[in-house]
């Protein structure tokens, strides 16, 4: 799959981090990087609660070295309740999980910038931890932070290289409330949080949007009406929501251009089932 994506002109192959039916993300990224020469590989996103930051930093730096700088380090505070229930890991309230993520990010920052870390917090206590190997990318691989809530997106605007925007997943499951939080006006709000977080940065983070449905078709009306009934939101909102993209190749290019202008999204994530259908869109966006 990695070789196919590279040949088709896709920029990155991502893998999530859950305990259901999937490969282990770090090994899978390593294999995909080894099989390719230009394709980026990354995690969207690792759950900070599953691995101690000093342990994870070694794996991430190793991947950065082995991929020659083609790894994107996506990490988040965790959200999927079933992962915690099946593994026995405590499912703390969102505020605690985000606190722990912030502490972890500071440890990663020290290790990747300075080669050592000392940190005392509520969740981690690290003393003279040494980073080996050092990443080949100065300061560590690009940091991808994902979320849909104000605190996480403001944090991402402040520290991330790539901000991955999703509907709020506070409930711990993907349910009807996700659709209600995916209307365009909610993305206006999320864009403002990212902007506020990055206000003092000279180089702004790239903005990425995660989609839940995508279809290359001339028959847009039927699909939009189906999702309108499924999500319980208006057809206009379905047509404009960044979590979906439906239309002909030219129409999709226009939609993505409009969304870049409105929300700053220049990085679009689709799913495995849509790879082949979206090939002509990728070619068009790459100028072919």
Q: pLDDT 10s per residue in the chain (288 long)?
A: 999 999 999 999 999 999 999 999 999 999 999 999 999 999 999 999 999 999 999 999 999 999 999 999 999 999 999 999 999 999 999 999 999 999 999 999 999 999 999 999 999 999 999 999 999 999 999 999 988 999 999 999 999 999 999 986 655 455 556 667 889 999 999 999 999 999 999 999 999 999 988 999 998 999 999 888 888 889 999 999 999 999 999 999 999 999 999 999 999 999 999 999 999 999 999 998
CB proximity list for 233: less than 8 A, separation 6 or greater: 179, 180, 182, 183, 241
pLDDT at 232: 85
pLDDT at 168: 65
3-state secondary structure of 78: coil
CB 54 within 8 A of CB 107: yes
Model pLDDT, residue 87: 97
Handedness of CA 280, 208, 233, 93 (dihedral sign): positive
Which residue has 């100065």 as its token pair?
Answer: 138
Q: What is the predicted pLDDT for the residue at 230? A: 84
pLDDT the model gives residue 231: 82
pTM of the model: 0.95
Domains assigned to the chain: 2-210+265-270 (3.20.20.30)
The count of other CB atoms within 10 Å of the CB of residue 153 is 29
Contact indicator for 256, 285 with CB cutoff of 8 Å: yes
Query: Quick one: pLDDT at residue 256?
Result: 97
Give residues with Cβ within 8 angstroms of 192, minimum separation 6. Answer: none
pLDDT at position 174: 55
Instruction: Look at residue 175 in the predicted model and tell me its pLDDT.
Output: 58
pLDDT of residue 182: 87
pLDDT at residue 169, as a whole number: 63
């Amino acid at each position: 799959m990695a070789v196919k994506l590279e040949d088709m002109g896709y920029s990155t192959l991502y893998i999530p981090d859950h305990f259901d039916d999937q490969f282990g993300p770090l090994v899978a990224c390593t294999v995909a990087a080894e099989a390719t020469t230009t394709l980026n590989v990354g995690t969207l996103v690792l759950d900070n609660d599953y691995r101690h930051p000093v342990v994870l930093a070694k794996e991430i730096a190793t991947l950065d070295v082995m991929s020659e700088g083609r790894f994107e380090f996506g990490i988040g505070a965790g959200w999927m309740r079933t992962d915690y229930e099946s593994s026995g890991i405590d499912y703390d309230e969102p505020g605690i999980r985000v606190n722990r993520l912030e502490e972890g990010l500071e440890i990663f920052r020290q290790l990747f910038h300075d080669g050592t870390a000392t940190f005392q917090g509520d969740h981690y206590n690290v003393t003279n931890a040494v980073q080996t190997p050092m990443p080949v990318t100065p300061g560590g691989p690009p940091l991808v932070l994902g979320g849909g809530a104000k605190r996480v997106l403001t944090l991402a605007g402040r520290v991330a290289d790539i901000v991955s925007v999703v509907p709020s997943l506070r409930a711990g499951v993907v349910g009807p409330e996700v659709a209600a939080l995916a209307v365009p006006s909610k993305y206006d709000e999320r864009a403002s949080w990212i902007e506020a977080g990055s206000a003092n940065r000279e180089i702004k983070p790239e903005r990425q949007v995660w989609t839940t449905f995508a279809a290359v078709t001339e028959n847009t009306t039927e699909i939009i009406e189906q999702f309108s009934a499924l999500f319980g939101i208006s057809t206009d909102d379905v047509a404009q929501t960044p979590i979906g993209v439906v239309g002909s190749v030219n129409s999709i290019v226009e939609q993505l251009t409009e969304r870049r202008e409105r929300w700053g999204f220049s990085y679009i994530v689709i799913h495995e089932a849509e790879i082949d259908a979206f090939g002509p869109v990728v070619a068009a966006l790459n100028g072919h």
